[in-house]
Amino acid sequence: MTTNPGPVPVSGAASGGTARLVAITLDENSVGTSNSNIEHEREVAIFDILDGNSFALEGRDDGPYKLHLAMVDDRLALQIGNETTDQLVTHLLSLTPLKRIMKDYFMVCDSYYEAIKSAPPSRIQAIDMGRRGLHDEGSRILADRLVGKVIVDFDTARRLFTLICALHWKG
């Protein structure tokens, strides 16, 4: 298990206000049918990312960026563009390193959504602590997978992990 790297500084010219996402879209074919909890997670994650993020292409300074997320053959496609083009680069990431974490995260999320209906606050809090721990671990793995491609801080990695889960989770 890796440790929390904390915020990853964006260095060089990219830190001049261009190292950020200004738009996120999700591939309709990847999203599929879902329940209201998943829809809510997607919407909140997108809002939170756009509200404050640190996102830059490694070795480039042509942001701010637009991100289109899709699932392609069990891989995550990150199509990254900017204000002048929709496709500067596309990175495909295998989800294999995240599968176990995502499976556990989905089970804990199901338990959490069930618990908030009738469980005592102490039980809900315990489940939520487990959920946050898995979420943090998945975020660290995602940030590690993006090294050499995309520079993100830990908060942005967390919110991207939420979106990836929402894309992968069919409810």
Q: What would the DSSP string read from start to end of the chain?
A: -PPP--PPPPPGGGGTTTSSEEEEEE-HHHH-S--HHHHHHHHHHHHHHHHS--EEETT----SEEEEEEEETTEEEEEEEESS-S-SEEEEEESHHHHHHHHHHHHHHHHHHHHHHHS-HHHHHHHHHHHHHHHHHHHHHHHHHHTTTEEE-HHHHHHHHHHHHHHH---
Greater confidence (100 vs 72) lies with: 100
The predicted structure's pLDDT at residue 94: 92
- Each residue's pLDDT tens digit, 112-160: 989 999 999 999 999 999 999 999 999 999 999 999 999 999 999 999 9
The predicted structure's pLDDT at residue 17: 81
The predicted structure's pLDDT at residue 5: 37
Mean pLDDT value of segment 65-71? 93
The predicted structure's pLDDT at residue 170: 58
The predicted structure's pLDDT at residue 3: 36
- Each residue's pLDDT tens digit, 33-59: 667 767 787 888 899 899 999 999 999
Q: Cβ distance 47 to 158 under 8 Å? A: no
Q: What residue spans define the domains of the chain? A: 12-168
